[in-house]
Structure 1
C-alpha cells in the first residue's frame, strides 16, 4: 500500500482510510472558505452585506448545477472506462468536458451580466440588502468559467482515485482566497465586491493548476490531446448521468428560492441574516461528510465496470458509516454552543431562544444526509441516471414544497425549520428503499446484501 490504492482488490476499509482523509480535508477547506468569507463580510462590512450575499445562494447554485452535471457525468464515464480498460473513451473525456464547460459558461455569464439587478430583486432583497447583493453578484459572474471548468476537471482527478492530488489544488485555491479576501475588502477599499473578485482570482489559479496537472502528464489514465471536442456518444453519456446532479442542484435552486423568499416574507433583515448563518453552518457540517464520500464514486464506478458488484454494496456500507460518524462529530459544538457559533458570523445580533431551538432542530436531522447521498452516488456511478434524476426532483415537488408552504403558513418562520427537519429524514428513507431494490437485482448473481 505504499503507492496508490488498488480500487479493485485492496481491503475496502484501507481504501476508505487512505482516500477519505484527503477528500475530507479538501472539502473542509472549501467549507471553511465559505464560512470565513461570511465572517469577513459580517465583521468587515456589516450584517446587511452578509444578508445581501446570503440571498444569492439560489443564484450561485445554478452555477453549481452546471458544474455538477459536467463533473458527475464526466467522472462516471471516466471511472467506468478505467475499470473496463477502455482507453479510447478515456482519451475523449477531457476534450468533451472542456466543450461543455465553455458552452455552459457563456450562457450563464451572459444571463448574469444582463439580468443581475432583476435576479437579486427577485430573491426579495430591498434597500441596502439589495444593493450589496447586486454589487457582489455583478463581480462574481466573472468567475463562472473558472468555477465550472476548474471544479469539473478536478473531479476527474478524484474519479481516477487520486483524491490527495485533487485536494492539494483545492487547498492552494482556498488559502489564496482566504488571504486575499480581507485585502480586497479593506486595503483595496472594494467592500462587498472585493469578496467576489477574490473568488475570481482564486478560481482562476485553481483552473490553471488543474490544467497543468493534465498537460504535464501526471494523470494515471490516457488523457489524449488537451483540446476541445464534441462527440455525441461521450456527451450523451455525460449528460445522461450528469443530469442527475444537474436536477439535484436545480431542485436545490428551487428549494433555496422558496426558503429565502419565505424568510423574507415572514421575517426581517435579522431573520434573513440568521437563516443565512444557519445555512452556511449547515454547509460547513455537510461538505466535509461529502468529502469523505468523494472516493465512493470512483470505487463503485471502477468495480461496477469490472463486474465486482458485491464489492460495490460493501463499499456503500463502509463509507456510509464513516460519513455519519464524521457528521455527528462536527455537529457537537453547534448543538452545544449554538449562540457562540452564530455570533461569529453576525456579531452584535441578539439571538432569541426560539431561533437557537430551530437551529438545533435542523442540525439534528443531518445524520440522515449520508444515507441519501450514498444512494444517489451509487445511482450516478453505475449509470442509472434516471433514478438519480428523478429522486431530487420528486423530493422538492412531493416533500419539500408542500411541507414548507404548509408549515410556514401555520407557524411562520418556525414552520420553515420544522419542514426542513422532517423533509430531510423522509427523503433519506425513500432513497434507502430504492437503493435496496437496486441491490436486490444483483443479489441472485452475487449474493449481494441489500441492507
Structure 2
C-alpha cells in the first residue's frame, strides 16, 4: 500500500500498480461504507427503524451537495493526472487552485438554498408521515458540515491523482472512525437521538477536512500552490466542468432515484417499505466497496498513461481492472445471496422496551428485505465492465461519452423501469428493475468501450 510518485504511474507493472492504488482506495471506501452501515445499525437499534428511513431521505440532498466537491475533484484530477503525465506542472497547480475556489463557491451557495427550502425538499424526497420530523432534525445539522464534506471529496481525488493512495485512504478512514465514536457518545450516552447522529456525522466531515488540509500543507504533497493559482481560469473551469459534470450528473440521477424510490415505496408499503430500501441502500454503498476501490485505483493510472501516450499500458490497465473488479463483485454476490436475512436483522432493534408499532415495523422489514436484496444484487457479477468502462472515458478526458455511459444504468434504464414495472408487478416490479438495468447498461458500455479501444488505442499503437 506504499505511495508512488506520479512518474511511477507510467513505469511500474500494471498489475502491481493497480493493486497498490486500489487496495488503499478499497480500504478507505470500506471504512466509509462501514461507517454508513454501522451508523445505520446504531440508529436502528438505539433510535428505531423509522430513524433509518429518515436518514435515507436526507442522504440524497446532502450527498448531492457533497458530490459537487467530488465532481470538481474528479474532473480536475483527470486534468492533473494527464498534465503530470505530460510534464505540465504549472497546469496541474492552476487546476488544483481552481478546484478549491470553485468548490467553496458552489457548495456554500447550495447549502444556503438547501436550508431555505428544507420544508419543501424533505417531503419531496419521501420524508412524509412519521419520517418528516426526525428527517428535518438530521437534515439541518448535517447540512452545516456538507461544505467540509465537499472539500474532502475534492481533495481526496487530488491526493490519489498525485499517486498517494495511502494518504487518500487515511483521509477516508478518519471521518468514519470519528463518526462512530461520536455516535456512541451522542446517541447511546447522551441520548441526543437524531440530533446526536447528525452531529456525529458533521464532526466526522470536519476531522477529514483537517487531515486533508494538513496533507497539502505538508511536504507529502507535490502540489505546492500559491495565491495566483486560486484565480479562476476560464479554459480550466470549462475542462473541469465538462469532466466533473459526469460525476455530478451521476449523483443527480442517484438523488432523483432516491426521490422516486422513497415515494413509490411509501405508496406501496408506507414507512416500513422505505426502511427496507434504506437497508438495501446501505448495502449498495457497502457491499461493492472493492469494486469501487478498483475503479478509483484505475482512474489515475489510465489518465497518466493516456497523457503520456503509453497506449499499450492503458489497454493493459483496462483489462486488468475489469478482471480484478469482476472477481471481487462475484464474491460480493455470493455473500449477499446466501445471508440476506442475517444482514437485515443487524439493522433492527429488539427488546421488551420496544412498542408494538416498532415491533410490527421490524417484522415487516425483516420479512420483505431478503428477497428484495437478492433481486437488487442479482446482476452484481457483471457490473465491473460497466463501471470501469464509464470510468475510462472520464480518465482520458472524453466528457460526453463518459457522461452518457455514466447515466446509462440509472438515467436511461433504471428510472423508466421503476416508473413502469410497479404498475404491473407492485413491489416486485421495483426490485427487478435493478438487475434489468444492470444488464442493459453493461451491454451498452461493453460495446462502446470495445469500439473506443479499437479506434484510439489499437490504431494509435499501429
Instruction: State the TM-score, normalized to the length of structure 1.
Output: 0.94
After superposition, the Cα gap between the structure-2 partners of 1:173 and 1:397, relative to the gap in structure 1 and judged at 3 Å, is closer
- Please say if residues 35 and 284 of structure 1, whose CA atoms lie closer than 8 Å, have aligned partners that are also in contact: yes
After superposition, the Cα gap between the structure-2 partners of 1:366 and 1:2, relative to the gap in structure 1 and judged at 3 Å, is closer
What is the match of residue 51 of structure 1?
A: 53
Residue 376, structure 1, aligned to residue 390, structure 2: yes
What is the match of residue 287 of structure 1?
A: 289
- Which piece of structure 1 moves more, 240-249 or 55-64? 55-64
- Which piece of structure 1 moves more, 243-252 or 53-62? 53-62
What is the match of residue 98 of structure 2?
A: 96
- Which piece of structure 1 moves more, 222-231 or 395-404? 222-231
- Please say if residues 94 and 226 of structure 1, whose CA atoms lie closer than 8 Å, have aligned partners that are also in contact: no
- Please say if residues 294 and 324 of structure 2, whose CA atoms lie closer than 8 Å, have aligned partners that are also in contact: yes
After superposition, the Cα gap between the structure-2 partners of 1:37 and 1:46, relative to the gap in structure 1 and judged at 3 Å, is same
SS at match of 1:293: helix
What is the match of residue 184 of structure 1?
A: 186
Paired residue for 2:404, among 390, 397, 412? 390
What is the match of residue 148 of structure 1?
A: 150
Q: Distance in 2 between matches of 1:346 and 1:306?
A: 52
Deviations along 1:310-342, one digit per CA (max 9) or x if unpaired, are: 211110111111112222223333211211111
Deviations along 1:243-296, one digit per CA (max 9) or x if unpaired, are: 111111111122221111111111122111111101111211123321122121
Residue 438, structure 1, aligned to residue 452, structure 2: yes
After superposition, the Cα gap between the structure-2 partners of 1:328 and 1:64, relative to the gap in structure 1 and judged at 3 Å, is farther
What is the match of residue 35 of structure 1?
A: 37
Residue 416, structure 1, aligned to residue 430, structure 2: yes
- Which piece of structure 1 moves more, 187-196 or 432-441? 187-196
Q: Which runs of 5+ in 1 are unaligned?
A: none
- Please say if residues 52 and 133 of structure 1, whose CA atoms lie closer than 8 Å, have aligned partners that are also in contact: yes
Following superposition, the deviation at residue 394 of structure 1 comes to 4.8
- Which piece of structure 1 moves more, 121-130 or 336-345? 121-130
Q: Distance in 1 between matches of 2:112 and 2:368?
A: 42
Q: Distance in 1 between matches of 2:377 and 2:37?
A: 16
SS at match of 1:383: coil
Following superposition, the deviation at residue 64 of structure 1 comes to 3.8
After superposition, the Cα gap between the structure-2 partners of 1:436 and 1:159, relative to the gap in structure 1 and judged at 3 Å, is same
Residue 4, structure 1, aligned to residue 4, structure 2: yes
After superposition, the Cα gap between the structure-2 partners of 1:226 and 1:337, relative to the gap in structure 1 and judged at 3 Å, is farther
After superposition, the Cα gap between the structure-2 partners of 1:154 and 1:396, relative to the gap in structure 1 and judged at 3 Å, is closer
Q: Distance in 2 between matches of 1:126 and 1:33?
A: 26
What is the match of residue 164 of structure 2?
A: 162
Q: Distance in 1 between matches of 2:283 and 2:330?
A: 14
Following superposition, the deviation at residue 415 of structure 1 comes to 0.5
- Which piece of structure 1 moves more, 416-425 or 117-126? 117-126
- Please say if residues 376 and 431 of structure 1, whose CA atoms lie closer than 8 Å, have aligned partners that are also in contact: yes
- Please say if residues 61 and 250 of structure 1, whose CA atoms lie closer than 8 Å, have aligned partners that are also in contact: no
Following superposition, the deviation at residue 137 of structure 1 comes to 0.3
When the two structures are aligned, how many residues end up with a matched partner?
Answer: 447
Q: Which runs of 5+ in 2 are unaligned?
A: 351-361
Q: Distance in 1 between matches of 2:367 and 2:188?
A: 34
SS at match of 2:288: helix
Following superposition, the deviation at residue 182 of structure 1 comes to 1.9
Q: Distance in 2 between matches of 1:216 and 1:2?
A: 18
What is the match of residue 305 of structure 1?
A: 307
Q: Distance in 1 between matches of 2:370 and 2:2?
A: 47
Following superposition, the deviation at residue 34 of structure 1 comes to 0.5
SS at match of 1:391: helix
